[in-house]
Amino acid sequence: MTPNQNRLVQLTDLMAEQGWDLLLLYGHTWRKDFFRCLVNVNFSGPHAAAVVERSGEVRVIVSDPWDFEALADAEHAAFAPDFTAGLKRSATKSPHAKVAVAGMELMQARFVEALGNPVSATSFVEELRRVKTADELATIRKAAELSDRGYQRFVATAEAGMAEYELVAEVESFLKLHGAEDNFMLIASGGVEVTGMKPPTERKLQIGDSVTTELTPQVDGYWAQICRTLVIGEPGSKQLDAFAIFAEAQKAAEDLLRPGVNIADVARVQNDVFRKYGYGDYTGPKYTRVRGHNLGLHPDENPYVLEDVNYVVKEGMVVIAHPNTYLPLSGYMVFGDTLLVTTDGCVALNSTERKLFRK
């Protein structure tokens, strides 16, 4: 176990600025990102925490014996089957310490109580994580390249008569075989009756279907995402018209995204394209969730790309812009790439062709 030294310096500087004596980075089975931003270990148990002293000393607490075995060579790793007691021991080593917790909102109330009266460090640590280091970007590029290959497999595999779950199983298998730790994936198939994506069902693909997917492989903790739409057979005129709107909206976001821009405006320019064509009613929460989001150690990080989220974009952020929504023209459609914010704009980390795919 070797903590990320660049991140450790950031965290100890943050502790000094905020007057914190102890910083705890908490993770559980689904949300491991705060823990892994310092100790990039894919623990399997229900709980883990990295505890940082102002001196820079790092201790790790895990609740699963297999995780402790994996960390056996670590100097400061502790096995705490009673995780509450493990947290309490950690906090009472410095009885008058000011304790902060990144991921506190994810913790059970008894864990928070065991730490005394901690403050939340979540927003501070999220802010540090938004700007990616060179090493992080190298890993995200690998995830993006794998997402492209995964979508190629999706296109090659999809055919009429195949169940959604069969298609997803093939893509999942391919991604795991080629190095993905995990994959967050949604799918939908059909026509104007389709209002969103979901986990795969037994529904069989049919000629004329739009088949949409949000495909998000994880490599060494980091996620990258691609969103594309495929038509089984030849696309109809309404599907082509709908896709042209989606492509224009995504391009508007990509053209605007750069350091200093308000993330709300990245959402607004996408929505303005739909408004221009008379589909403004389909830009709200009834038909769409977000117009994109940050990416990193969690597949759906803040800031969300929404018109009511005000956040100034920074160089080194990784964002997906995706105008995914329902339109009465074609039903639900998706289109988006993982984008790296550069000095004067952004670049796509995906290389998959930007088109309405057909099979």
Domains of the chain, first to last: 5-129 (3.40.350.10), 134-358 (3.90.230.10)
pLDDT attached to residue 25: 98
Residue 180: both structure tokens together: 């993905």
The whole-number pLDDT of residue 18 equals: 98
pLDDT (tens digit, 9 = 90+) per residue, 157-189? 999 999 999 999 999 999 999 999 999 999 999
The CA distance from 141 to 164, in Å, is 28
At residue 280, what are phi and psi to the nearest 5 degrees? -60, -30
Per-residue pLDDT reduced to its tens digit, 190-205: 999 999 999 999 999 9
Q: What pLDDT, on a 0 to 100 scale, did the predictor assign at position 39?
A: 94
pLDDT at 69: 85
Q: What is the pLDDT of residue 73?
A: 67
For residue 92, the model assigns a pLDDT of 74
The pLDDT of residue 1: 67
Whole-number pLDDT of residue 38: 96
Distances (CA, A) of 140 to 18, 296, 358: 30, 8, 28
Per-residue pLDDT at 74: 64
What is the structure's pLDDT at 169? 98
Of residues 88, 41, 80, 42, the one with CA closest to residue 61 = 80
Cα–Cα separations (whole angstroms), residue 346 to 91, 230, 339, 352: 43, 26, 6, 17
Distance (Å, whole) CA 226 – CA 252: 17
Counting as low any pLDDT under 70, the low residues of the chain are 1, 73-75, 94
pTM of the model: 0.95
- The predicted structure's pLDDT at residue 70: 82
Q: What is the pLDDT of residue 273?
A: 98
Nearest to 313 by CA among 268, 271, 256: 256
